[in-house]
Every structure is written in structure tokens, then in C-alpha cells.
Amino acid sequence: MMSETTQNKQTIGFQAEVRQLLQLMIHSLYSNREIFLRELISNAADAAEKLRFQALADESLYEGDSELKIWIDYDKDARTITVRDNGIGMERQEVIDNIGTIASSGTRRFLESLSGDEAADSRLIGQFGVGFYSSFIVADRVALETRKAGLPADQGVRWESTGEGEYTLEAVNRPARGTTVTLHLREDMDEFLDGARLRAIVRKFSDHIPIPIVMKQDKGEGEEVVNSASALWIRSKEEIEEKDYEEFYKHVAHDFEGPLARLHSRVEGTNEYTLLLYIPKNPPFDLWDRESTHGVKLYVQRVFIMEDPKLMPRYLRFVRGVIDSDSLPLNVSREILQENRALERIRAGAVKKILGLLEDLAKNRPEQYRIFWKSFGSVLKEGIIEDSKNRDRIAGLLRFASTRDEDESQNVSLTDYIGRMKEGQDQIYYLVAENYQAAKASPHLEVLRDKDIEVLLLWEPVDEWLVAHLTEFEGKPLQSVAKGDLDLGGLKDEGEEKARELVAQTFGDTLEKLKKLLGDKVSEVRLSQRLTDSAACLVLDNFGLSRRMESILKSSGQPMAFGSKPILELNPKHGLVERLRDESDAGRFEDLGKLLFDQAVLAEGGQLGDPAGFVRRLNALLQEALPASSRESS
């Protein structure tokens, strides 16, 4: 919505998501209202760093002033706070795009994730990176003036809003490049009209900002720099306090909560670089957004180059922080970086450091690792598929649910499993199912449960690809209990084997007849060594695609010229299977055979091709089991 109010001034309606976000944010963050200053300083620092980078290629953008700063001022009489920078600035369309609109494909999902819980919502809002809007927590009117470096003075832009649905936009004459934000404070915000209070906030939240933050001295003339104004990551670890590390994380990650873990490392030699990397406690709002632009920030000799999720592999996309290289060229483009061998070595080194940090958490801080796994375990699993060089290390970090667990907590490592393997067991058994309940109740587990053999339970979508790429661990092959012949290796009972062979001799004709009846629904019908309680189950061959995998591939648009026909296995000791063997009536044999197949489909979480037929056959079987008097009355 747009209406012309003067020849130059326009009134423009906020994007609907912005209006919704403003209302949610003002109420959710009110108890953390001092963070508005941190967010405005962070934006100003980003603008300064962007100018520094672009000026490498075009020094005229400095317009004769290369000393980058951020100024903070306040006026008790006018009841205003002003944050000014001489950074890159914005042109008119950038103001509309950056302030009037939230340009993110994850916006709707983000808004839907807000719960009404103040603490949880404030964390999400912080991660979303909407720092400028935090101005409205303390101000009932906000004005922004800006001019992009390199444009003439008459192309300045003024933006103003009360945060209630619309804003005005007009052209102004602005000799100075950069951006000035003026907050007209609400009546109950007098605490911020105090120099000591503002300095304390700067030192608390923004001391690490590598751009000087300047304020007027309260007594006497002149200005003073109120922050350290040096890059945190280049300082020695001994002089950095834990609170400094935490506030820097909040700055680079747009998170209101501290990190779960961090690493600070300096690598020297022919390829010198510094890492200050963090693992968040909670998933970023855009963790599953493939178009996300958030990631690790790359600096070259303390000059910000870019923030790019590709600086870390996809399976570590939750990592936040800084990589600062002394070896890369300053005048480097994003395209050149993708092909740069030095950057590839830095990237590989950073990955090893992160995996080492996770290994340390898993070994020495298991409670923190459980938090990590709950937040990012399904993402880390992608590393088994993507990163063959580090596959063994990643495999050691995986955690699974198990048949030994009482719930779906994923706390079992492959090393734990191997340490508990029974004597004679030479394989790691696992089962992939639709969900945890389906896995826990699967008929494929029956004989293994009877023999007290532990089975790992998997049910996340990525698990289908995971087990296709992770075929062994520490010399122990992984074996699906739902595929192929169940090989119990040294756990076989010779007496059971002989008894099964004797029973099989009486079922030959039954299996052949049932295969003919079911036709191309199955590839084979055979007796099972898996089942002890259930009548039937479906099994895939060793290279067959599960129903779930077929569904995933179809939904992703991949052509399915082939389908995996399952194997139907029957439990020869079950009453229904014995009855099928002894049934001489062709109609009853057909009903009972199809019923057993449909039961096996349902146990796998599949859908029946003929639900009405299944109900009819089941009712007929139940009626036969009723006493004669009951059947006559019905």
C-alpha cells in the first residue's frame, strides 16, 4: 500500500510480516530492552565493515574520510538517542528492502514458531536478525537518515515510523555518507538518557566491536572511545574473559542466549589463520532453509569479506563465528574464493577443529553433548553422506535409540553398542522405521529380543541415506534386521536350525500357493527366522528400497522406474499360519493369505490397496471364532 503525501514524501505500509513481528517483539523483548543499543551498534559496525571491503576496489568510496567510527549521543531535553556511523549507507530501494520488508523465505515458518513464551520467543527473534526493529521497544518514533557512499548529497533518504503499520520515506540532502538513527524515547525510558548507563551497555554488549564507538565526555569538551575497538579473535586467550566470548557470540549469531561451546585457535605456518567458532545451544531459525545466508564470517587481515554458509560444509551449517586469514588476498571476490586452495585448507582445518570440539564434549561433557545432539544430531548425520574423509570421526559422534532404552532418547554411540555386543556377535544390528513407535513395536525385532540382542532404532528421514553410506564401524558391519536373510552369525542355535528345517518340509506347497496368489505384490514367500510372536512380516532384499525411501524419492520428483517388491515371511509356529497350511478350501485360503499379507503391510506402517476387502476378510475370520449361538444371532 502506497500513497503520495507530498511531491517527494511517500507513506508506505509495512509488509504484513513486519507488522506482526513488531508487535510480538515489543512485548517479548520488553524485559531485555537495553539490547536495542547492541543491535543498532551491530548494524552500524556491519555497515562500516562493508564499506572497508568495497573500498579495497574503489577507494573513492571513502570520500576523503577513511577513519570509520560509530557515534552515540543523547539529548535529555529532546528525549532522543542517536546512533550514527560513517559506513556504507543505503540508497532508497535498500531502505525499503532492509527496513520495510523481511526478505526471507523462512519468514512464515519463523513467525509460526513463535509460541508466546517470552524467553523462547526473544531467542528466536534475536536469531532472526531483526535488530533495527528493537528500537521500538524503547522508542515510540524512530527516524533514520542515510546516504550510500559514492552517491551525491541530494540522494540521501529519510525514513520515519511510529512502528504501527506504516512508515514515511522521502529524499533529503545529506552531505555525509552513512546512516543516522534517532530514537524518540517512550515516557518510561528515562534511564537511557544517561551517559554512564549508555557507556555501561556499550561495554557490556559491544566492547568487542572492532570499530571505535565514540561518545561525548560528560564533563568537559571532547569525545572519548568507550569500547576496546579491537577484533576480539586476535587478542590472546589469557586477556579475554568468558563474558567477552559470550557477547561476541551473541553479536555474530544474532542470538540472545549464550553458546553451548566454542573454540579459539591460531594456526601458523605457510597458511596462517585464526578461528573463533561457536556451537549454539538451540537450532537457528533457518537451519533447514537451503537459501539461508547466515553462517561463518570470513575476514582477511581483519577486513570483513563476507558471511557465507559455504565456509563450513552443509552438515556443520549451525556453526557460527569468525575465520580470519592472513594468507588470502584482500582483493578477493566471492567467486574466486570458491576455487581458492588456501581457503579449502582453512575450511578443512576448521572442520577438524569443530569435530575435535564435539569429541571433547561427547567424552568430557556428556550432558552438553546431549543438548547438542537434540538440537543438531539430525544435521550432523548428513556428514556421513557428504564427508567421506571424516566419516569415521563423524560416525563416532552419532547417537541412536536402542531396544535397551525405555524411551526414544538417542544416547547410544556405536562404541557403546560394540562394547555390549554378545559373545559370538559380529554385526551391528539396526532397524529403520517410520517413527519410534513403529520401530519399537516392529515384528522384525522378535527373535533378537528373545535372544537379548541389542538393536539400534532409527526413524528420521536422513537415516535411510545414513545407513546406505555407513556400512561398518571399527570393523563391525552394520546389518538391517528388516533386509535380506537375518544372519545371526555365531549366535545361531544349531538345534533351532534343525527344527526349522524339519518344519519347512511341511510348508513347501503352502508357500508356493501363496506366492501365486499374491503375484507381483511380493518377490518371494518364505518361512521366517525373525518372528516368534507375529504371524507375518515384510522383508526387503539387501539392496531393496524401503517404502519410505521410495516415497521420499517420489516426492522429490525423481523418476521411479523400479520398485522394491518385498519378501513375505511367515511364522510357522503361529496359529493362523498353521491354519493356512492346513486349509483345503480355496476361498478360505485366499482370504487368509491376503489377510496375512495386509497385516504385514500395516505392521510396516504401509497403506492397504483394498481396505474394504481387508475389513471383510478380518470380520469373516472373527465371526468364525465366535460361538455358534453368536454367529446365528448376527
pLDDT over 90 (residue 430): yes
Architecture of domain 234-364: 2-Layer Sandwich (3.30)
**What's the CA gap between 84 and 301, in Å, rounded?**
25
What does the pLDDT average to over 573-582? 92
Q: What percent of the chain stands above pLDDT 70?
A: 85
pLDDT over 90 (residue 132): no
Same fold, 399-491 and 494-633: no
What pLDDT does 499 receive? 67
Identify the bridge partners of residue 431 per DSSP, sorted by sequence position.
457
What pLDDT does 114 receive? 60
Confidence of residue 340 (pLDDT cuts 50, 70, 90): confident
What does the pLDDT average to over 102-124? 55
Amino acid in position 103: A
What pLDDT does 105 receive? 45
Q: Which CATH class is domain 2-229?
A: alpha beta
**What's the CA gap between 110 and 126, in Å, rounded?**
11
What does the pLDDT average to over 418-446? 92
**What's the CA gap between 493 and 378, in Å, rounded?**
38
Going edge to edge, which strands form the sheet with 320-325? 261-267, 273-279, 320-325, 296-300, 303-308
Q: What is the pTM (predicted TM-score) of this model? A: 0.80
What pLDDT does 301 receive? 85
Task: State pLDDT tens for residues 236-245.
Answer: 999 999 999 9
**What's the CA gap between 593 and 598, in Å, rounded?**
9
**What's the CA gap between 84 and 69, in Å, rounded?**
8
pLDDT over 90 (residue 21): no
**In 114-172, alpha helices (H):** 118-128, 135-138
> Which residue reads 536495542 in cell numbers?
36
Give the lowest-confidence range in 137-146, 314-323, 489-498, 568-577. Answer: 489-498
Confidence of residue 316 (pLDDT cuts 50, 70, 90): very high
What is the maximal distance between C-alpha atoms in the chain?
A: 109
**What's the CA gap between 50 and 44, in Å, rounded?**
10
**What's the CA gap between 80 and 68, in Å, rounded?**
23
Cβ-count burial 184-223 (b if 16+ within 10 Å, e if not): bbbeebeebbebeebbebbeebbbbbbbbbbbeeeeeeee
Cα 547–552–555 angle (5° rounding)? 120
Question: Between these two residues, 118 and 252, which has the higher pLDDT value?
Answer: 252
Under 8 Å between Cβ of 366 and 331: no
CA terminus-to-terminus distance, the chain: 69
Residue spans per domain, the chain: 2-229, 234-364, 399-491, 494-633
CATH superfamily of 494-633: Heat shock protein 90, C-terminal domain (1.20.120.790)
Task: State pLDDT tens for residues 469-491.
Answer: 999 999 999 999 998 888 776 66
Q: 399-491 in CATH: which number?
A: 3.40.50.11260
Pairing verdict, β 401-402 and 456-458: antiparallel
> Which residue reads 552438553 in cell numbers?
368
What pLDDT does 455 receive? 96
pLDDT over 80 (residue 629): no
Question: Between these two residues, 562 and 398, which has the higher pLDDT value?
Answer: 398
Cα 400–402–408 angle (5° rounding)? 75
Confidence of residue 561 (pLDDT cuts 50, 70, 90): very low
Task: State pLDDT tens for residues 369-393.
Answer: 999 999 999 999 999 999 999 999 9
Kindly state the cell numbers that stand for 583.
486349509
Average per-residue pLDDT for the chain: 86
What does the pLDDT average to over 542-552? 65
What pLDDT does 546 receive? 65
Under 8 Å between Cβ of 323 and 231: no
**What's the CA gap between 191 and 197, in Å, rounded?**
7
